[in-house]
Amino acid sequence: MFPLAVTAKKLVVLPGLSDGLTTVKGKAWILSSPYRKFFHDDTVYMFSRKNKMPDGYTIRDMANDQVLAMRCLGIEQTYLLGVSQGGMISQYIAIDHPKMVIKLLLAVTAPNANGVVKEAVSGWNDMANPGIRFAS
């Protein structure tokens, strides 16, 4: 384990794919309730992904952007919680930047977007945006 430079722990939460439908901006009160028990002793950060992702933008690219954002905020080490697609991103952060991750917590996620995941996401996209398709 790597020691923290400060006494308070930092918990970074990376949400799932629904973050692309409605970001965390302006929703701190609603989204914070599951993490309230951490507020007294820790600092909790919740991040959204880019609004406009370029063609060919990968989960690993998302992880590298997340690391850049965390470093810009002075987060050099963190407890990292990845939920769903955020878990996929978190796994790349742990692989590519292991000194940044004190502990990795994964919830309802997978190691990659396999065929079942891609089919489900395409179905959700079809229901939400008739006539618009994500590239596979």
pLDDT digits over 102-113, tens only? 999 998 888 877
DSSP states along 24-53: STT-HHHHHGGGGGGTTTEEEEE----SSP
What is the architecture, at CATH level 2, of domain 9-111? Answer: 3-Layer(aba) Sandwich (3.40)
Q: How many CB atoms lie within 10 A of CB 71?
A: 12
Its pTM stands at 0.74
Long-range contacts of 15-22 (CB under 8 A, 24+ apart): 15/46, 15/47, 15/48, 15/83, 15/84, 15/86, 16/83, 16/84, 16/85, 16/86, 16/87, 16/108, 17/84, 17/85, 17/121, 18/84, 19/48, 19/49, 19/85, 19/86, 20/49, 21/128
Tokens of 15: 């949400």
Domain boundaries defined on the chain: 9-111
Average pLDDT per consecutive 10 residues, the chain (136 residues; last block may be shorter): 56 77 60 65 82 87 96 96 91 97 91 76 70 55
